[in-house]
Amino acid sequence: MQAVADALTALEKIRKERPDLVLAEVELPPLTGYELCQSIKQDPSLRVIPFLLVANSYFDTEAKVKGLGTGADDLLYRPVHPVELRARVRSSLRLKAYVQQIIEDRSRFEELVAERTRDIEQLTFGLVAALERANSMNDSDTGLHIRRVSEYSRILGHGLSMEPTIINHIARYASLHDVGKVGLPDSILKKEGALTGVEMTEMRSHTLLGHDLLKEARADEMACRIALSHHERFDGNGYPHGMAGYQIPIEARIVALADAFDAMTTRRCYKSARPVRQAIDEVMAESGKHFDPGVVRVFMERNAEFRKAFDKYGQD
Ligand SMILES: [Fe+2]
Ligand SMILES: [Fe+2]
């Protein structure tokens, strides 16, 4: 045990030597015991050191209020009996050991959670990439369609001031919107010209197929919602469930516009590409019909970014 006569030396020593416990008087020129206590308790690296304050008398109410207010762990009153002092010191040290154990357990636990989260993220990215590839091999669209839809969805998410983590999820899972097409035959996917009624029904089932596939793989709920609802329309005339307005999850309303805009501006086996200017007018005209007007507004504000993404990933 070391004794020092003034608060500043005490503070310096405490910072340097990190004692097991501090026992301080109320008067410690040039500071007070309260101020010393406050400095220690405000420092996260020293906070755990038990601070025992010795008040001048049991009737010193100011010492009780101020001492506990500044974070002292215990109060002692003059005259301090050595047996009581020992007992209080022991109890404070016991408490400190518990607290330290909890802190250590917590940081170990946090490390473990962070490590597992990283593993899962990596696995998810790997699976998304694999599905993306499988998807692009089976669809008449190439991988670039998926990339553009993902990029457009990111731009819209930003424009809607969504949380960065949510935006990342939407952008990542947007790439899986048509994953259900892996279950459709090439005769439908690569057919040149219009589909028959039966073929159209089968084509539309890619939403349900994609949803079930992702659900079974226990993918993120958001990925399932995007796969299921990206062909719903704001006016309720979409598929597979004919949901309307805000019943349609926001991520699906975003991907719906991103997907449709990309379909308009790129060539498919059954149609040629439209000029970007014309596609923009078409999206505007569909505000409140095919698309959520709020998402269309953001699309209009962020037109330049759409063009940039379009140029970046180019034509298929
Ligand atoms: Fe689709
Ligand atoms: Fe698509």
Which protein residues have a CB closer than 5 Å to ligand 1 (ion)?
178
Q: Which ligand is nearest to the CA of 175?
A: 2
Ligand 2 mean position, distance from CA 36 (Å): 65
- All domains of the chain in start order, with CATH: 7-108 (3.40.50.2300), 139-313 (1.10.3210.10)
Task: List phi, psi (to 5°) of 117.
Answer: -60, -40
Q: Which ligand is nearest to the CA of 266?
A: 2
User: DSSP state, 20?
Assistant: S
Strands 22-25 and 51-55: parallel
**Residue 258 Cα distances to 43, 72, 246, 280, angstroms:** 50, 59, 17, 12
CA dihedral for 244, 309, 176, 206, sign (positive or negative) = positive
Give which of 255, 267, 199, 213 is closest to 231, Cα–Cα.
255
Give the pLDDT confidence of 60-76 residue by residue, as tens digits.
Answer: 888 888 888 888 998 88
Ligand 1 mean position, distance from CA 177 (Å): 6
Per-residue pLDDT of the chain (316 residues; tens, 9 = 90+): 678 878 888 888 999 999 999 998 888 888 888 888 999 999 988 999 999 999 888 888 888 888 888 889 988 888 888 899 899 999 999 998 998 899 899 999 999 988 887 777 667 666 766 766 666 665 545 567 888 999 999 999 999 999 999 999 999 899 889 889 888 888 888 888 889 999 999 999 999 999 999 999 888 899 999 999 999 999 999 999 999 999 999 999 999 999 999 999 987 766 677 788 899 999 999 999 999 999 999 999 999 999 998 888 766 5
Q: Which ligand is nearest to the CA of 210?
A: 1
Beta carbons within 10 angstroms of residue 195's beta carbon: 14
**Burial of 2 per CB tally in 10 Å (0-12, 13-18, 19+):** exposed
Beta carbons within 10 angstroms of residue 241's beta carbon: 15
Give the pLDDT confidence of 157-168 residue by residue, as tens digits.
Answer: 999 999 999 999
- At residue 67, the pLDDT reads 85
Ligand 1 mean position, distance from CA 204 (Å): 8
* Rounded Cα distance, 252 and 243, in Å: 11
Ligand 2 mean position, distance from CA 301 (Å): 23
Q: Which ligand is nearest to the CA of 227?
A: 1
Ligand 1 mean position, distance from CA 292 (Å): 17
Predicted structure pTM score: 0.63
Contacts of 154 (CB under 8 A, 6+ apart): 167, 168, 170, 171
Q: Which ligand is nearest to the CA of 231?
A: 1
Ligand 2 mean position, distance from CA 156 (Å): 16
